[in-house]
Homo-oligomer: A and B are copies of this chain.
């Protein structure tokens, strides 16, 4: 149930509304907009009487939410959620700037992650991606450098000022990974790993939640709800392709999911064209399409030497290709009424400034 208040409600009126709800055993979640304030009620809403609530001072309307997700629902908050990373550049998902995260599938060595970080930063990326713990279908494949990989990511951040996103696979790793990274990634295979979702819901780190290979959009939102229900509402959703019968691409990018999500939720939505395509020559057109459909950002795999990558080499752009791609993205961002950082000396300057 969602309570919409009258414009500029007085604090004591808002407090009385919350007390009323909480005294009936539910939790409240307040979202402050410029004018409008929204009070979400989580718990057994059947026990509430909408008419009684409407009678409270300062209440404009009471809405019953029939959707299975509430905290993630668009109606639930007064304005779109901005997920701020808190770095020197002020990287924020969900604002007017399209945020691009880039970097290797997995951190393989000190040299490669530093080279990657410098290059993607100069190209305009606002975040460095890199896997330390890798989920692999086969137990015999490279599983990542683990804690050592986290150290290397921290070093790359120190050198470039780029905030870092990395995947967490195990509830027991959440604390450790949170110490090193700026954003925790939940991979597609773990989208319904509820123990892990609950754990990242308890830390104060933004979460990048990837859609499962065969998860519906509603299930993705419910997975976000699992995180948010634990108190962490800094969630960014990521469409990365779904599994279909088509084999020309590794997955089928459901570009409409971006547009549907923007109509269903206040959370930022980004796209991973690399995993969707599974081949480098399609990364650019899918990135263009994602921005055109309204995505708030992109996460793109790069590698200094894709042919030698220990995972996902087929879909990793070279660093020069990534720099070229960033230039090509700008007109699409502009067409969508957004901005995007471009490869410029300015970017190099910021990097230098942060790194010095």
Nearest CB of B to A293, in Å:
4
Beyond A190-B193, A216-B247, list 6 extra A-B contacts (CB 8 Å): A135-B194, A171-B171, A242-B244, A244-B254, A256-B277, A289-B293
Q: Please tell me if the beta carbons of B289 and A290 are within 8 angstroms of each other in the complex.
A: yes
A–B complex contacts, Cβ < 8 Å, 17 sampled: A135-B194, A137-B219, A139-B194, A139-B225, A172-B172, A173-B195, A193-B193, A193-B196, A217-B246, A217-B248, A242-B245, A244-B244, A248-B256, A248-B260, A259-B281, A259-B286, A292-B292
Q: Please tell me if the beta carbons of B139 and A222 are within 8 angstroms of each other in the complex.
A: yes
A252 at the interface (CB under 8 A from B): yes
Given contacts A189-B192, A192-B189, A242-B244, contact A286 B276 (CB under 8 A): no
CA distance A189 to B186 in the complex (A): 14
Select A289's contact among B140, B192, B218, B289, beta carbons within 8 Å.
Answer: B289
One digit per residue, 1 when the CB lies within 8 angstroms of any chain B CB and 0 when it does not, for chain A 306-348 equals 0000000000000000000000000110111000000000000
One digit per residue, 1 when the CB lies within 8 angstroms of any chain B CB and 0 when it does not, for chain A 124-167 equals 00000000000111111000000000000000000000000000
Chain B, Cβ-Cβ closest to A189: B192
A170 at the interface (CB under 8 A from B): yes
Which residues of chain B have C-beta atoms less than 8 A from A248's C-beta? 216-218, 256-257, 260
Chain B, Cβ-Cβ closest to A283: B259
Closest 7 CB pairs of A and B: A214-B214, A170-B195, A331-B335, A288-B292, A292-B292, A259-B285, A189-B192
A54 at the interface (CB under 8 A from B): no
CA distance A243 to B212 in the complex (A): 12
Chain B, Cβ-Cβ closest to A226: B139
CA distance A58 to B138 in the complex (A): 31
Chain B, Cβ-Cβ closest to A227: B139
Copies in the complex: 4
One digit per residue, 1 when the CB lies within 8 angstroms of any chain B CB and 0 when it does not, for chain A 72-112 equals 00000000000000000000000000000000000000000
Which residues of chain B have C-beta atoms less than 8 A from A352's C-beta? none
CA distance A194 to B187 in the complex (A): 12
CA distance A224 to B235 in the complex (A): 32
Q: Please tell me if the beta carbons of B244 and A256 are within 8 angstroms of each other in the complex.
A: no
CA distance A286 to B137 in the complex (A): 28
Give residues of chain A (233-259) contacting chain B, Cβ–Cβ below 8 Å.
Answer: 242-249, 252-259
CA distance A225 to B138 in the complex (A): 7
CA distance A216 to B193 in the complex (A): 19
Q: Please tell me if the beta carbons of B260 and A282 are within 8 angstroms of each other in the complex.
A: yes
Q: Please tell me if the beta carbons of A137 and B245 are within 8 angstroms of each other in the complex.
A: no
Which residues of chain B have C-beta atoms less than 8 A from A122's C-beta? none
